[in-house]
Amino acid sequence: MCGEKSKKKSGIPTIKCTPDGVYAFMNTSEPFTGHVYLKGHFGKKGCHRHFDSEEDRQVETNSPMYSTKTKFRFDACPMRRKRQINPRGLIMSGVMVVAHHSTLLTYRDRAYRIECYYREDNNVVQTEMRVK
C-alpha cells in the first residue's frame, strides 16, 4: 500500500579484513535488491555490486535469513590509507553504502564506516656485503 512502511531491513554488515581487500557480509530477512558500494566510487568496477537477480542473493541453508557478500579489493577499489606509529601498522578505511535504489536515497539506505587494521611487524634484515 502507498505510504505503508516496508518492514524489509538490511542487517548490520559483518566485515572481514583480508590481505588483498575487505569482505562485507550482510544478512536480511528478505532477499536484498539494491546496491552496495564504496562511497565516491559508485561507477568504478570493483567498488560496486548490484544485487538484482536470484544468483546475487544467497540463502543460508541453516537459517531463515538471506545472505549477501561484497568484496572491495585494494588493487581495484581505492580506500583511504593511514599509517599509524603506535602500534605500528596501516589502517585501510572507507564508507560502505547500502542503497535500495540506484538513483534515489530512501529511508532504508545506510552508510557504514569500515576500517581494517594491518599490523606491521618489526623485522631485522641482515645481509653480508663485500667491497673490493
* 3 within a domain of the structure (yes/no): no
**DSSP-based helix, strand, coil % in the chain, nearest 5:** 0, 45, 55
Question: Looking at residue 59, what is its pLDDT?
Answer: 57
Whether the CB-CB separation of 93 and 113 falls below 8 Å is answered with yes
C-alpha–C-alpha distance, residues 38 and 69, integer Å: 14
Q: What is the dihedral of CA 41, 51, 67, 11, to 10 degrees?
A: 60
In the numeric block, which cell numbers belong to residue 117? Answer: 587494521
120-126: average pLDDT:
77
Q: Average the pLDDT over each of 68-77, 106-115, 120-129 and give the range with the smallest value.
A: 120-129
9-37: average pLDDT:
86
Whats the size of the chain, residue-wise?
A: 132
- Its sign, for the CA torsion 90, 95, 98, 101, is negative
* 130 within a domain of the structure (yes/no): no
- 55 by DSSP, 3-state: which? helix
* 60 within a domain of the structure (yes/no): yes
* 106 within a domain of the structure (yes/no): yes
* pLDDT(74) > 70: yes
- Give the total number of structural domains in the chain: 1
Place of cell 545506510: 110
Provide the domain limits for residue 108. 14-119
